[in-house]
Amino acid sequence: MGLRTLRAGIPMMSGFSLNTFTKEQLDLIHFATLEILRDSGVKVELAEATEIFAGAGCMIEKNDDYSIVKIPAYVIEDCLHWAPSNIVFYGRDPKNDYAVDGKRTGISPFGENVQVIDRFSRTVRRSFKEDLAQATLMCDYYDEVPVVERALCSGDKNPDAQALHNFEAMVTHTSKHLFLSIGREESAKKVLQMAYAVAGSKENFEKRPFVSAFVCPTSPLVLSKQCCEGTITAARGGGGVAIIPMALSGATAPATLGGTLVQHNAEVLSNLVLAQLTRKGTPTMYSTCSTIMDLRFTVAAVGAPEWGILSAALASVAQYYNLPFWGNGGQTDSKLVDAQAGYESSLTMLLTTLSGANITYGAGCLESGLTFDFAKFVLDIENFRRVHKVIAGIDLSDESLALDIIKEVGPGGEFMTHPHTFKHMREMSMSTVFDRRKREVWMEYAGGKDVTEPAYAETDRILTTYKAAPVSSDAIRRMDEIIKEFEEHSF
């Protein structure tokens, strides 16, 4: 081996990524958004939120039960400055803290599916609280899932109390950071009380908030009463907010992706302003659930290329603002775990993850976001590992280029038994559920069954052998009391 010195100015590792927009194009999107918020403004349906905007110098046009709020550029830019860029999404267990510095990436399930494919009967049914608990436990098991979205709803519980039941099912089955809708003011406050009970006190929770509230502006350009109440309550209560518009290009947003992009951005920034004016420094996740409306079938198309295109584009916008990003990827419009599901899920998962999204969410999703399937969740995790292998790129260090090894083996030699191979073979991608065996071995091992069968088997193995870090019995008792009290006085 000859002497090899370090190379100057040449990075040895070049990960793959997408460069969606130039700086000038991002400036254009930003200035267009400022124009929309200055001239058209947003409809605000909560008087308290209107007062918060007015106190910061926004222009208010009052109507009977809502106001049009026009936001000056300086208010938006101040609030963007206050929103933290380096966020730690704390877990109930510190080992599960997730610091979203830069373009660190992870995956999460899609939320909120209202149906599930039963693991035993393989038929579609309404989702129950126990289904959410099991899906959450699966998320806790996989390291690829750094934070946990509410995958299903507690459909067997009263809708007004579902946020409370959803939180209880999730917090008792994972110690990772939780993302879920906490509902209107009354239920939102109760969810936070439950979180304080788990943390031991409100003060403990505020030091390490392990819950972020999903809040959803209504397209086009409306901050509904529930959205405002959830934002204000979460911010005042010490939690974070994830702002997730659901603009539909051609229906609730312009039929052009550029127009949908600007409108989506305006909806996020208006909600971000409310969160930061409520409590400066509120952790804020820039999120998206925007896509096209398939006008032939009047359905939101989550398997469409535009689902991934918008997500990758909005990732660049979020990064322009130095905000963490939650993007679409891995969903499908298919009703089965079939070829359509594989093609659609893979395309959008790859696009969003290559864009540097901190969370690519969609694992387990079928039927345009209506149905959760455990087998698809397992397969999506496996696919995400493949995507992660792609974004890691190729190491060009001396060790990786292996010039001395190639020379040593020489023409016509073999590398399989060389120590260099033993040293590096575990760096190669390996399948867990996807099958790479020859057909004869596959027939003997798997009986020629579809890949969903080993995925269901892996689900059963995890759910019967794995346990999440427990919540104290006192906290569980207190949560049950809060739910019971809320249900008795609310219905």
What is 358-399 written as a DSSP string? SEEEEETEEGGGTEE-HHHHHHHHHHHHHHHHHHH-EE-SHH
| Nearest in space to 161 (alpha carbons), one of 485, 477, 478 | 485
pLDDT of residue 194: 98
| The pLDDT value given to residue 69 | 98
Shared-domain flag, residues 343 and 242: yes
CB atoms within 10 A of CB 201: 10
Question: What is the Cα–Cα distance from 269 to 217, expressed in whole angstroms?
Answer: 10
Give the per-residue pLDDT at 491: 58
pLDDT at residue 318, as a whole number: 97
**Cβ atoms within 10 Å of 349's Cβ, excluding its own:** 28
Q: In this predicted structure, what is the pLDDT of residue 9?
A: 62
DSSP category for residue 181: -
My answer on whether 46 and 99 are in the same domain is no
Task: Look at residue 8 in the predicted model and tell me its pLDDT.
Answer: 62
Residue 70 covered by a domain: yes
Tokens encoding 460: 């059963």
Domain boundary among 349, 375, 392: 392
Residue 217 is given by DSSP the state P
Using the 3D structure, point to which of 392, 412, 442 is the last residue of a domain: 392
CATH number at residue 292: 3.20.20.480
- Nearest Cα to Cα of residue 379 among 416, 413, 419, 338: 338
Residue 457 in domain: no
Alpha-carbon distance of 346 to 386, in angstroms, equals 10
The Cα–Cα gap between 44 and 49 comes to 7
Residue 5, domain member (yes or no)? no
For residue 489, what pLDDT is reported? Answer: 83
Helical H segments across 425-472, by residue range: 439-446, 452-465
Residue 480 belongs to a domain: no
359 neighbors 107 (Cβ within 8 angstroms): yes
Residue among 171, 162, 283, 164 nearest 234 (CA): 283
Q: Within this chain, do residues 363 and 405 fall inside the same structural domain, yes or no? A: no
Same domain, 250 and 274: yes
At residue 3, the pLDDT reads: 60
Task: Say whether both 184 and 61 belong to one domain.
Answer: no
pLDDT of residue 40: 98
pLDDT at 57: 97
| 11 within domain boundaries | no
* The pLDDT value given to residue 118: 97
Q: What is the pLDDT of residue 16?
A: 85
Pairing label, strands 13-14, 394-395: antiparallel
The whole-number pLDDT of residue 17 equals 85
Of 40, 60, 78, which residue sits at a domain end?
78
Q: Are residues 228 and 192 in the same domain?
A: yes
Residue 438 within a domain: no
381 located within any domain: yes
Helix (H, G, I), strand (E, B) or coil at 163: helix
Does the bond joining 367 to the residue before it have cis omega, within 30 degrees of 0? Answer: no
User: What pLDDT was estimated at residue 362?
Assistant: 96
Asked if the structure places residue 441 within a domain, the reply is no
Which ranges of the chain have pLDDT less than 70? 1-14, 490-491
Residues 285, 217: Cα–Cα separation, whole Å = 14
Domain match, 308 and 377 both: yes
Residue-level pLDDT at 10: 65
Asked whether the whole model's pTM tops 0.85, one would answer yes
Structural domain boundaries enclosing 311 = 86-392
- Number of domains the chain is built from: 3
